[in-house]
């Protein structure tokens, strides 16, 4: 029973980090129909921003987690820059395939650029540990980082859902993702909306980075690659383009991973995650909550 509770809690914790990252993927995909492979690397940018900013905030006498605010802003700026410099010119000229290849290339640029910066370098760094207290729930030791991760992601997801449903910008986003041409005719500034989407998605990546380093206190330049791929799998699993789908997919992937780690073998968790993805895509090609839209001729 204790193992089972442990497995559920680990699954929820992993899953909520994946869900936060998957939200960024799914928002960008919904609006420009592009898999933003560089999204994983926004987490890396967030991780390093936190690594440098937390000591500064502690030195000023502020709580360390407040550093997530400037980290969010840095991440959002990087996300907007990537959109402006790489994705927008390619979107104007090429087709879907070329955009996808650009996204992959952009991810490599970010990873390797970070390594080339002397202050970062290729070696992993250990950031300051936040939320290190542990609690006991039903005989199982749970770190406060776990609880904060689960609660904060739940709050953000609900807030984001209402943001996209009710606010003006959120409505514009849904508008653009439904029909770009019609949105232009209705007076929505499409390019602004796309940029804001990138900003929000990348900002969420910084929050995810905070949650991640609270659990695994280590930052390195390729940390985003694996995390990003899992989150992406989560987004696809839930139905890419759908916010509740991303949350569901994230939790599902977290559970599968934690299940494999607990009961089978940690080295096989990749295989099971992808097997679940493949099986789901074969049964429902648009994901669990995705809508299957037919192609117009």
Partner 1 sequence: MKKNGIGRRYLINFIATAVFFILALVVCGNGGSRMKLSVVPSIWQCCYLIIMAASLNLVLGFLGQLSLGHCGFMAVGAYSAALISLAFQRAGFYEEKSGVAFLLVLLLSIVAAGVLAALLGVLVGIPALRLKGDYLAIITLGFGMIIVNVINNIPFCGQQGLGQGSASSALYATGLGFSNDEKVQYLWVALLTVILCLSLMFMFVRSKYGRAIRSIRDNEIASESSGVNVNYYKVLTFTVSAFFAGVTGALYACSNAALATTSFAFTNGSILNSVFIVVMVVVGGMGFLTGSVIAAVVLFLLNYTIKNGAWVAALPAFLQNVFTYPMLVYSIALIIVIVFRPKGIMGSSEFALCDIPKWKGWLQQYFASRKAGKEELRHE
Structure tokens at 100: 């996808």
- In the complex with partner 1, the residue whose CB is nearer, 8 or 84, is 84
- In the complex with partner 1, the residue whose CB is nearer, 215 or 242, is 242
- In the complex with partner 1, the residue whose CB is nearer, 96 or 192, is 96
- In the complex with partner 1, the residue whose CB is nearer, 107 or 197, is 107
| C-alpha to C-alpha distances, 123 to 43, 74, 113, 221, nearest whole angstrom | 17, 22, 14, 8
- In the complex with partner 1, the residue whose CB is nearer, 118 or 138, is 118
b/e code 53-79 from CB counts within 10 Å (16+ = b): bbeebeeeeeebbebbebbbebbbebb
What distance, in Å, lies between the first and last C-alpha atoms of the chain?
55
Smallest gap, in angstroms, from Cβ of residue 145 to partner 1? 28
- In the complex with partner 1, the residue whose CB is nearer, 118 or 187, is 118
- In the complex with partner 1, the residue whose CB is nearer, 67 or 256, is 256
Smallest gap, in angstroms, from Cβ of residue 78 to partner 1? 16
Smallest gap, in angstroms, from Cβ of residue 27 to partner 1? 15
Smallest gap, in angstroms, from Cβ of residue 228 to partner 1? 12
Smallest gap, in angstroms, from Cβ of residue 152 to partner 1? 28
- In the complex with partner 1, the residue whose CB is nearer, 98 or 165, is 98
Smallest gap, in angstroms, from Cβ of residue 292 to partner 1? 11
Q: Which residues bind partner 1 (CB under 8 A)?
A: 29, 33-35, 86, 89-90, 93-98, 100-102, 104-106, 108-109, 111-113, 115-116, 118, 225, 229, 232-233, 236, 240, 265, 267-268, 270-271, 274-275, 277-278, 281-282, 285, 295, 297
- For the purposes of burial, counting CB atoms within 10 Å of the CB of 163, is it exposed (0-12), middle (13-18) or buried (19 or more)? middle
């Amino acid at each position: 029973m204790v193992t089972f509770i442990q497995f559920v809690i680990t699954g929820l914790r992993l899953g909520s980090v994946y869900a936060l990252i998957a939200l960024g993927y799914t928002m960008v995909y919904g609006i420009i129909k592009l898999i933003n492979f560089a999204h994983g690397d926004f987490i890396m940018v967030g991780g390093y921003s936190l690594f440098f900013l937390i000591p500064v905030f502690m030195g000023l006498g502020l709580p360390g987690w407040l550093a997530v605010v400037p980290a969010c802003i840095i991440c959002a700026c990087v996300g907007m820059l990537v959109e402006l410099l790489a994705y927008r010119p390619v979107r104007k000229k090429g087709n879907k395939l070329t955009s996808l290849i650009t996204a992959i290339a952009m991810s490599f640029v970010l990873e390797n650029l970070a390594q080339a910066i002397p202050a970062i370098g290729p070696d992993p760094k250990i950031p300051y540990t936040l939320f290190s207290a542990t609690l006991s729930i039903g005989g199982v030791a749970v770190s406060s980082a776990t609880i904060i991760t689960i609660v904060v992601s739940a709050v953000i997801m609900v807030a984001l859902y209402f943001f996209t449903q009710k606010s003006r910008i959120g409505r514009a986003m849904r508008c653009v993702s439904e029909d770009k041409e019609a949105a232009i005719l209705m007076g929505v500034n499409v390019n602004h909306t796309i940029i804001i989407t990138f900003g929000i998605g990348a900002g969420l990546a910084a929050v995810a980075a905070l949650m991640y380093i609270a659990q695994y206190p280590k930052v390195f330049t390729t940390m985003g690659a694996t995390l990003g791929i899992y989150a992406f799998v989560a987004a696809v699993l839930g139905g890419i383009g759908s916010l509740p789908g991303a949350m569901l997919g994230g939790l599902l992937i977290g559970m599968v991973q934690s299940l494999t780690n607990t009961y089978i073998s940690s080295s096989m968790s990749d295989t099971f995650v992808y097997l679940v993805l493949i099986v789901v895509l074969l049964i429902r090609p648009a994901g669990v909550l995705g809508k299957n839209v037919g192609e117009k001729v």
